[in-house]
Structure 1
Amino acid sequence: MGCQTLHLNPQFLYNAPNTRRFSLQPNLKLLKTTSLSSNNLNEPLSTATINQTQNPTTHSSNVNFKTLGDCKLGISRYPDFDYNASGGAGSGTATKLSDGQVYVEFDVKKLSIPPLSTATTTFLGLPLPPFLKIDIVPVAFQGEINQESGKVDLKFIAEFCFSVGSLYKARPLLVETVLTSEESKGKMREGRGERMDGDGKCRLVGVATVEPINDLFMDTFLSLPTECLANLNAVISFSTTE
């Protein structure tokens, strides 16, 4: 037995900027075209016109994501876990939408987030028992970032896989939320993030509803359905590509 990953296609969950499900809609502008009249059909087109037509200007770059220490994770009405996520990292692409606004998409196959374990996590001041582990398996991570204001809104979908040594492995808990630098508020849980500073450092929060997984122990222990809160300290940086 192991953590069985649900084969979700992020394209159906959060598509390209003009077809996304949740309300992070960019202000897209229609490209204005100029028709050629019969009077100028025989006139040669300038090199600039040809280049503009065949090679429209694109603004793309690489984006990098790193998780830091001083994070928190909470579920149900239990106190929050203190979580050191140092070492987590991922990369992806960023496409300019408008002044300062970019759409980013991370490669979840290369996105790693440290598990909750005795080495990374404490609960009520005590480390998690050595045999308890919660793996985080990203399924989708994409959204919009305003490089001028520092505002971040990233759709995050992941499976949380609980295990107790080799004795017990629960079905994955599917968590879907928007990690934001603003405020995230549910019925039970809430948090407020911090916008990116000049070094790309930010705090991202997100409240999600966790549904039952048809596992009697987990459903009862966590009082599913319930809410969970992610509070991540992170750094986001960009590098230009040709």
Structure 2
Amino acid sequence: MSCKINSLNPPIPCRFYTKKPKITKIKTIILCSSDEQQKTITTSTAIETPTTEAYSVSFKTKRACKLGISWYPDFEYDAEGGMGTGPGAKVTENQANNNDLLVSFDLETLYIPPLTSSTTKFLGLPLPPLLKIDIVPQALQGSVNQESGKVDLEFKAKFLFSIGSLYKAPPLLVKTVLTTEESKGTVKSGRGKRLDEAGNCTLVGVATVDPIDDFLLNSFLSLPTECIAILNAEISIASSSS
């Protein structure tokens, strides 16, 4: 199964430039009169390639988040304790977007709390005790602009629905762009908040979720449908050289 991204501002792919400037040798041949030998002069020319500044980036999710799917009212979600770290790189080249920090979070450090009776409420009531929705991240990468506060992070994760040992559904694959700007689908939409001086922000992402090989969950969620994530987060950036 698959799902579609609903975003007007996809993130910039994370490509870190680490190569040193190339030295290119150029041969120049000078033709002289017949009584002189042909001369060859070899010169070296340095061709500059972009250099990078390295950073360490940390990501934390906070309370008062929301998750919504289909026609159901949004779930109130306490994501306190979610975290992740990863390398960041700022490319120092003459481009209009050279204030963007490209970041890719390490999946081994990336954790997002599951939806359970202790973290999630629906219509003001906790989820039933046995119901659990695990969130298994597959990717979190994109760009952070410290100057403007704009953040665009491509997010991909598996959502695993289970009811104790009685029922386990195939994973729902959700792929979206978590942004501080507007994320808009056909039915659902939301707008985030840009980074403030303390690194706090609100990330919003809308995705279209396709059906899976499970009649019960397809019917319960009315798949295909749209889902939305509204996450309060904190992003901290430190120079690796400091």
Specify the TM-score bucket, using the shorter chain as the normaliser.
0.7 to 0.9
Q: Does residue 232 in structure 1 map to residue 225 in structure 2?
A: no
Deviation at 1:41, TM superposition (A): 5.9
Task: Give the alignment's TM-score, normalised by structure 2.
Answer: 0.80
Match of 2:160 in 1: 161
**Contact 2:133–2:160 (Cα < 8 Å) also in 1:** yes
Match of 1:86 in 2: 80
Task: Give the alignment's TM-score, normalised by structure 1.
Answer: 0.80
* Larger fraction in helix: 1
* Larger fraction in strand: 2
RMSD of the TM alignment (CA)?
A: 2.9
Q: Structure 1 stretch 89-98 or stretch 150-159: which is displaced more?
A: 89-98
Q: How many residues align?
A: 213
Pairs within 5 Å for 1:1-242: 23-25=10-12, 57-97=51-91, 98-242=97-241
Higher RCO (CA < 8 A, seq sep 6+):
2
Deviation at 1:106, TM superposition (A): 0.3
- Work out the CA distance in 1 between the residues paired with 2:167 and 2:10: 39
Deviation at 1:24, TM superposition (A): 3.6
Spell out, residue by residue over 1:171-214, the C-alpha distance to the aligned partner (whole angstroms, 9 max, x if none).
11000000000000001111100000011100000000111111
Runs of 4+ in 1 over 4 A off after TM superposition: 31-43
**Larger Rg, first or second structure (1 or 2):** 2
- Work out the CA distance in 2 between the residues paired with 1:123 and 1:80: 7
**Contact 2:12–2:102 (Cα < 8 Å) also in 1:** no
Deviation at 1:23, TM superposition (A): 4.5
Relative to structure 1, is the Cα distance of residues 158 and 37 closer, same or farther in structure 2, using a 3 angstrom cutoff? Answer: same
The percentage of aligned residue pairs carrying the same residue is 56
- Work out the CA distance in 2 between the residues paired with 1:23 and 1:152: 10
Deviation at 1:102, TM superposition (A): 1.0
Gap runs ≥5 in structure 1: 1-5, 7-21
Spell out, residue by residue over 1:39-93, the C-alpha distance to the aligned partner (whole angstroms, 9 max, x if none).
99699x9xxx8xx97x974301110000000100000010000000000000001
Relative to structure 1, is the Cα distance of residues 83 and 42 closer, same or farther in structure 2, using a 3 angstrom cutoff? Answer: closer
Gap runs ≥5 in structure 2: 2-8, 29-39, 92-96
- Work out the CA distance in 1 between the residues paired with 2:182 and 2:191: 4
